[in-house]
Amino acid sequence: MWRLTPRNILRGILLAFFPWGPAYLFERADFWFGQTGNGYWYYQFSGTRLEADVVSFALGGILIAYLLRPRWAVVQVFLSAGLVYSLLYFACPTYPVGPVWKSECYSLGPDGLAGVRLCAMMFSFGVLPAIVRASYKEDKLNKRLRPWIAIFGAFVTSVVTAWFPLTAWFSGATYLTSLVPFQAALLFGVSEIAAGILAARISRSIVVAAASGVTSILIISGFLWPILCAGCDRSLLFLIVPSWGIFALIGGFLELGLPKRLSIGPLEHFYPRLEDIRRIGVAVVLLFSLWTLISFDFWDPNVLYATNMSPGPGQMTLGTPSYPYVAGYYNSIKYRVCCVEVGVSFQRVDLNALAPNNFLMAGMGVQSPNCCIDGWDFGWRADVFMLPNGTQVVSGSTWETCDGNANCGGTIWEHLRYHAQQTISPPSISTPVYLRMLWQYNQSVWHANWFYNYTGQPWTRFGSFVPDFREGHYFDVGVEGAGNYPCSCVYFYQFGVASKTPVAGWSVQLLYPSFVHPDGSWGVIEHASIIQGVSSYWKGNYRWGGEPYNGVFARANTNDQTLPAGILQLTYSGTGTLPDKTVLW
């Protein structure tokens, strides 16, 4: 019979508060810093939200596994994850600040499942200690339930050890080049060695161990498949699924040893000490899994263009797209402006050099934030595409992105939420085409609008988008020192050239990149420098393109006084690479 003793009271308090309490209090503290205008601590807390959630559920899960039997520990952690989901996504205030509405609710993501994924991840970290404890019960477990407990335990282990690399891959992100092998190892199931060991220990079956690996990747893929990824090739799953089964099978052998019928030939006298080999296997899993947590900021995601412009894949890394890109950027302190403009002139293009599915693109990209949810930001582009048949198309696009912050689901994702395009017919291929992106207030609603003009063609709107009420109705321009390795800054306003794969035989002018000053007048940016695709971050974890455009040189006022300040001419020569931060004017 349960008695009201100090020990039981303490136990009840701990069970009521952990593991959800510390995670939620951390979130509330961060919002408090934001509401009181303490920007430094707001961003310090916001940047570590995900880590705080993981630590809260991981350590809280250990405590719960100690206080409760495994089955009840699983139930308690599940209820905690459900409570966090309710508090962060539904029981959260939305209120007006002047004419602007603000909300403390987290973003559900484009598919509405961002919160489910975040809480599934937290649940897995919290429930793993209970599963490990249950694995030592051996014969005390119900024999008919053992296989299902083993498969569930393997799934939980897989989430804990491989969640971040997998979610990034499904959304089109890889590590920086030197770290790709770590992501590839987990993508192909090295972590299933540990999952197979756990499944075999619970089920006492090699077959169940192998099946647990396949089942885990199929369930995780079901969770992650709805994540949108423009241009991604997920056919690697045909190799990944059996690979997970093989590594889980290896884990099963490490736990139970080789079956006698396989002990033939050289293996007949092979009697390794399984405990030592198991330790090595678990150490390998820990090496790769922990490194992904340590190197969590070193992602290499890319966003460039709407795939309906040219559907075939470009350069690929682990099935995710990357594109050559070189641009100028506004080298100034950060401003917030309503409107940006740039002109594009294709001085020369060898159409024969454009493959059927390639393109040459020139234009501008800029960033805007939201009011309240750090990590959920928006990329905007206005471009002119030159297609292989000589057709010119103006294109306007906007993405919403999450850089892995818990505010938007704890996973990296990108969503092309709007795209507009229109075929144009300027008098000649070199006729300058001017592009504008403007915030305009119409019928009590803010709109983001895209315009173009050229000789004989007045300013014509070809795209209009009504954003989420939580978005700031302005663009950020300038440079801010909050970028990702290997670049320490983000470059909010960029104007440049890209293609799906490198193209020879072209020369493009970017004309008079401008924005509207607070007094309402248009003005050309005062200072501009070069940025290559590898460093072209427009927010902390996102870039335009991703690869440097080798073989391109630049003419501008700094190296050619015949060009006025405000004109950048990029030409493909086939040799050399423009250094980052080369001054243009």
Contacts 24+ apart (CB under 8 A), 423-427: 423/391, 423/392, 423/393, 424/384, 424/392, 424/393, 424/394, 424/452, 424/454, 424/457, 425/392, 426/392, 426/454, 426/455, 426/457, 427/454, 427/455, 427/456
The count of other CB atoms within 10 Å of the CB of residue 257 is: 15
Q: Which segments in the chain show pLDDT lower than 50? A: none
The per-residue pLDDT for 371 is 75
Residue extents of the structural domains in the chain = 8-136, 142-300, 321-572
Tens digits of per-residue pLDDT, 333-387? 998 999 999 999 999 999 999 878 899 999 999 999 887 777 889 999 999 999 9
CA dihedral over 15, 19, 23, 26, signed as positive or negative: positive
The per-residue pLDDT for 49 is 87
As a whole number of angstroms, the distance between CA 575 and CA 452 comes to 33
Structural tokens at position 340: 């940006």
Structural tokens at position 265: 């030939």
CA-based Rg of the chain, rounded to a whole angstrom? 27
As a whole number of angstroms, the distance between CA 553 and CA 567 comes to 14
- Where does 36-99 have alpha helices with state H? 39-47, 49-67, 70-89
Identity of residue 568: L
CATH of domain 321-572: 2.60.120
Residue pair 552/352 in contact (Cβ under 8 Å)? The answer is no
The per-residue pLDDT for 260 is 61
Residue pair 454/426 in contact (Cβ under 8 Å)? The answer is yes
Three-class SS of residue 104?
Answer: coil
Can you say how many angstroms the Cα of residue 331 is from the centroid of all Cα atoms in its chain? 26
The per-residue pLDDT for 264 is 56
pTM of the model: 0.89
